[in-house]
Amino acid sequence: MSATKSSDLGLRLRQNMGFAIAVVLFAVVYFLYQLSHPKGFSSQVFVQNSNEVFSLAMLAMAQTVPVLMGGLDLSVGAVMTLVDCLASHVLEGSGWSIFGGIVLCLLTGAAAGLVNGCVVVFGRIQPIIATLATGAIYMGLALFLRPIPGGKINEDINWAMTNSLADFAETVGIFDDGKAPWFQTIAGFPTSLVFLIVVASVIWIPFRRSVTGRTVYAIGSAEGAAFMSGLNIERGKLAAFTLAGIFAGIGGIFMAIQTSSGNADIPMAGAYTLSSIASVVIGGTSLLGGTGGAIGSIFGTLILKVISFNFRIFDIAPLLQPLFEGLVLLGAVSLGALSILRVKNQLELFR
Partner 1 sequence: MTHPADDAFLSLTGISKRYGGVHALNNVDFHCGRGKVHAVLGENGAGKSTLIKIISGVVRPDQGTMMLDGQMVNFQSPSAANAAGIVCIFQELSLMPDLTVSDNISIASPPRKFGLIDAKAQRMRAEELLASIGCEDVNPLMRVRDLPLSRRQMVEIAKALGKSPKILILDEATSALTSSDVEKVYAMLARLKAEGVAILYISHRMHEIEALADNASVFRNGRHIETFAKGTRNNDEIVQLMIGREISAHFPPKPALKRPKPLLEIENLSWENRLDHVSLSVGRGEIVGLGGLDGQGQKELLLSLFGVLKRVEGDVKLDGVKQNLTSPRVAKSAGGGIALVPEDRKTEGLMLPMSIAENLVLASLDELSAGSLVDETKVSAAVADAIERLKIKIGSPEDAVSTLSGGNQQKVVIAKWLMTKPDVILLNDPTRGIDVGTKQEIYRLLRELADEGAAILFYSTDYDELIGSCDRVAIMYDGRIISELEGDAINEKYIVSASLNIAGQKSNGGAHVGH
Contact range with partner 1 by CB under 8 A, out of 5-13, 122-130, 264-272, 311-319: 5-13
345 binds partner 1 (CB under 8 A): yes
Minimum CB–partner distance for residue 66 and partner 1 (Å): 16
Minimum CB–partner distance for residue 197 and partner 1 (Å): 19
Closest CB to partner 1 among 26 and 217? 217
Shortest CA distance to 64 belongs to which of 224, 285, 303? Answer: 285
18 binds partner 1 (CB under 8 A): no
Q: Which residues contact 76 (CB under 8 A, 6 or more apart)?
A: 59, 62, 63, 244, 247, 248, 272, 273, 276
Sign of CA dihedral 239, 241, 245, 251: positive
337 binds partner 1 (CB under 8 A): no
2 binds partner 1 (CB under 8 A): no
Alpha-carbon span 324 to 340, nearest angstrom: 25
Minimum CB–partner distance for residue 299 and partner 1 (Å): 20
Minimum CB–partner distance for residue 87 and partner 1 (Å): 31
Closest CB to partner 1 among 129 and 211? 211
Minimum CB–partner distance for residue 195 and partner 1 (Å): 23
Closest CB to partner 1 among 124 and 342? 342
Q: Which residues, numbered 227-256, are part of the site for partner 1 (CB under 8 A)? A: 227-231
Alpha-carbon span 307 to 275, nearest angstrom: 13
Among 171, 192, 291, 310, binds partner 1 (CB under 8 A): 291
Tell me whether residue 318 is exposed, middle or buried, using C-beta atoms within 10 angstroms of its C-beta: 0 to 12, 13 to 18, 19 or more.
exposed
291 with 208: CB under 8 angstroms?
A: no
Residues 193-222, one symbol each (x = binds partner 1 by CB under 8 A, - = not), give: -------------x--xxx--x--xx-xxx
Shortest CA distance to 66 belongs to which of 263, 280, 211, 230? Answer: 280
Closest CB to partner 1 among 96 and 350? 350
Give the up-direction half-sphere exposure of residue 180: CA atoms within 13 A in the CB hemisphere: 12
Alpha-carbon span 130 to 122, nearest angstrom: 11
Closest CB to partner 1 among 237 and 305? 237
Alpha-carbon span 270 to 91, nearest angstrom: 25
Q: Which residues, numbered 145-204, are part of the site for partner 1 (CB under 8 A)? A: none
What is the total count of residues that contact partner 1 (CB under 8 A)? 32
Minimum CB–partner distance for residue 20 and partner 1 (Å): 16
Shortest CA distance to 77 belongs to which of 301, 260, 251? Answer: 251
Q: What is the dihedral of CA 105, 111, 116, 121, to 10 degrees?
A: 150
Among 6, 11, 327, 333, binds partner 1 (CB under 8 A): 11
Which residues make up the interface to partner 1 (CB under 8 A)? 4, 7-8, 11-12, 15, 206, 209-211, 214, 217-218, 220-222, 225-231, 286, 289-291, 343-347
